[in-house]
Chain A
Amino acid sequence: MKRLLMVIVLGLIGAMVFSTNVWSLGRKTVIKIGINAPITGDIPKVGEGTKYAAQMWLADINKAGGIEVGGKKYPVELVIEDNEAKAESAVKANTKMITDDEVLFIVGPQSSKQAVPAGDVANNYETPMITPWSTNPDSTKDRPYVFRGCFLDPFQGPVLANFITEEFKFTKAAVLYDVASDYPKGLAEFFKQAWEKIHGAGSVVAFESFTTKDADFSSQLSKITKSGAQVLFTPQYYNEVALIVQQAHELGWKNPIVGSDSWGSAETVTLCGKDCYGQFFSTHYAAAGAKGETKAFIDRYQKEHGYVPDDVAALTWDSLRLVQKAIESSGKITGKIKKDRKAVRDALAKIKNFKGITGDMTFTEEGDPIKCAVIVRISDKGEYEFYKSVCPN
């Protein structure tokens, strides 16, 4: 009796082992794209934009019946992970998506403090990753598998310095930035370098700083007002921009205030109101007066979610379209994830003159795109108006 039981059990196990192999041969290959986004935490609006753009992209793909590779259509699945705007959670999310969900490609994380460590994980596991919004050079440096969807700070700083010089013929500038946050600090320094290169040492008459979560800037702003600066450059995020611009005006500052792509959030104007009208900033795309595909995307996003998409959503959209193009031109999906990841990575690195809604892109050796910056003027209705496009020479 016991022996019979043993035989049955062993037989069953044997059958199971065998059947699994049969089953895995006939398994459907699904293309999984991982989204690593800050859905909770400090910058939930960024996570929301990322998620919405990704869902819109997925809807498009589903409508088309999947991504076509080598004459065959494969269904697509999104794996959306919340990174809580924390570095270690972004690393955890990337590790999980790569090793457990076996995603083919990762889009995100958005901010540099997460993209730098998460990019390390992606590169170690040889999984291609594209960060749509991170402007820190370290995110992609020496990492063949990591790409980015936007221009870098060393490009943006000179763009703004040149723009102000040509547009207003000013020679004295002031800078106000957050010393504790890497993005504003880096950009402030690049701007200062570029400005002093044009106008000589000492032409940045005030280089004032504060710390994250400060809300009162009056002492720095009075110093700036007294310094005789003709323009104020402040590469801050939307919540601080509103406070800085309003307080500057209260202290009698009448000259222009110029910002960077971190102003590009839809919230800037909501919080800042009339004070921000007429100011300039550099960014990835301009929503008001957009044409063609850009306009189609904006209209669709606004219809589905009720507000004009900010640059994060647009860059995420472009990144996903780039990924789609890379997958389509990778030749063949074998179902062997390591091989496919490498093929897609190589295909992405080869893409030339990709027509995105935030401009044309070609990747450099480092995985950074060569693309134009847009100077936006906040109109008297509070819209982001296209003013000028500045391309790298």
Chain B
Amino acid sequence: METKQETPQRAYKNLLARYKAFSNRIPLLGWLCGGIGAVLIEYFLGDLVSYYLGLPKVPVLFGCLIMLKKPILIPGAVGYLLLVYGLPVFFIARALATPANKLAAFLAKGPITIAALVHLGLLYAILHIWTDMSDYRVLVLKLTMIAVMLTLSLNVINGYMGEFSCSHPGFMAIGAYTTSTITLWLFANDKLFGEALLPAAIGPFFFPLALIAGGLVAALGALVIAIPSFRTRGDYLAIISLAFLFIVKSIIENLEFVGGPRGMSSQPNYSNLPMVFIVMVLCIWIINNFVRSTLGKALCAVRDNELAAESMTVNTRKTKMVTFMFGAFWAGVAGGLFAHVLRYVNPGSFGIQRLAEILAMLYFGGLNSVTGSIVGAVSINLLSEALRPLEIFKWIIIPLLLILVMLYRPTGLIAFTEFKPKELMRSKE
């Protein structure tokens, strides 16, 4: 006979099962509403709650910085997280489960674009209110979103196509420099290009075009890698792409008209939060459609067996060329945004260190998966920001985490999964 003993393990399992049953009922829309509630609570009551919990002020990055700097404040910070984020999200999501499900079911009937826009609008509202509290959050969020774009575009090449390309910072540099040159030349008075040619007022509207131009030039640069990739694979291609990275860096260092090693500064402040958000959403959307298209399937065929793919009428040359240029395009766009967030670029920022960062985010999150790239980029970025007070130990903890992930999940946290927006947004009833 089985006796029902309340062991801690059983209690934990029970709790997990109950949580699963609960979360299975809540659609994404419900969680987003909960998120809005939480950030609104923080916006209006954050100061009070943090004061009564003994915190010096509203914890800026989920309390991580406070906890690491003053361990005595850990209970306060945890309490704050629970009161401001945890409980409101939970209760609002639960309270709104039924209407949210109904709304989700209603949206599912219409075109997916509208449903997606509603969800994205809510997500943007959350981010906007959350970042309204402090400019530090804005900066961290913008850089994180740019990292998402970089990781995703590298995933197309390294994950879906299975080529090990090391030239991504090079593409990013090309995009950053092209976009900066255009905006500085046309819209800013600076010492490299002299007076602005066009009135500054039309600058923000012109900026997307400058970004596209940056992406296109990066895509042209990608041809330098794509053509050798017809004949080489694996390690050899990795070395060619690494060489490309160094070539780009050296060229920029020796080009005096873009500032040489001193770099370019005082780009106009065009990369604001909505801009970066919209470009990132477009990037995710287009890349997700790309990898799920026929060409995307051809990519996987090239990755698994190039010869077999060729004999099955996949045009491997075209596939490789398009993929390299496509990945490079988005890296270039991300570079352009990056240059206008920092408002400074120098060739030194696009070296091996940047490559290591992007690769770490890619392999941490998982190959062949859009979700994985997003998870990888966001988690590595936030971790490296949150652990900064640890100084040197940060550089032990993050690599250690990477090793652990590689040991237990050799392809990354969320690998080889399809990102299906329709599935994600469906009603849960």
Contact = CB atoms under 8 A, between A and B. Distances in A.
B391 A82 contact: yes
Given A87-B349, A179-B254, A113 B263 contact: yes
Contacts of A185: 260-262
B60 A96 contact: yes
A40 B395 contact: yes
Nearest to A181: B261
Given A86-B349, A120-B265, A180 B250 contact: yes
Contacts of A116: 263, 265, 344
A186 interface: yes
Contact of B344 (A120, A181, A186): A120
A23 B51 contact: yes
B342 A20 contact: no
A44 B394 CA distance: 14
Q: Bin the interface of chain A by size.
A: 35 or more
B249 interface: yes
Interface in B373-429: 385, 388-389, 391-392, 394-395
Nearest to A51: B391
Contacts of B143: 88, 92
Interface stretch (B94-102, B131-139, B227-235): B131-139
B51 A40 contact: no
B346 interface: yes
Contacts of B134: 99-100
B388 to A, nearest CB: 6
Interface in B257-271: 260-263, 265-266
Contacts of B52: 16
Contact of B260 (A86, A96, A113, A182): A182
A136 interface: yes
Nearest to A212: B348
Interface in A113-164: 113, 116-117, 120, 125, 136, 138
A81 interface: yes
A393 interface: no
Nearest to A180: B253
Nearest to B52: A16
Contact of A86 (B253, B262, B353): B353
Contacts of A181: 261, 348
A179 B250 CA distance: 9
Contacts of B349: 86-88
Contacts of A180: 249-250, 253, 261, 347-348
A106 B373 CA distance: 36
B21 to A, nearest CB: 29
Given A117-B344, A211-B253, 18 more contacts: A40-B391, A40-B392, A40-B395, A44-B392, A81-B388, A82-B388, A87-B348, A92-B139, A95-B136, A113-B263, A116-B263, A117-B265, A138-B265, A179-B261, A181-B261, A185-B260, A185-B261, A185-B262
14 contacts: A13-B48, A23-B51, A86-B349, A87-B342, A87-B346, A93-B388, A95-B135, A95-B136, A96-B60, A99-B135, A113-B346, A117-B265, A180-B253, A180-B261
Interface of A: 13, 16-17, 20, 23, 39-40, 44, 81-82, 86-89, 91-93, 95-96, 98-100, 112-113, 116-117, 120, 125, 136, 138, 179-182, 185-186, 211
A-B pairs, top 3 by smallest CB distance, nearest first, are: A117-B344, A182-B262, A182-B261
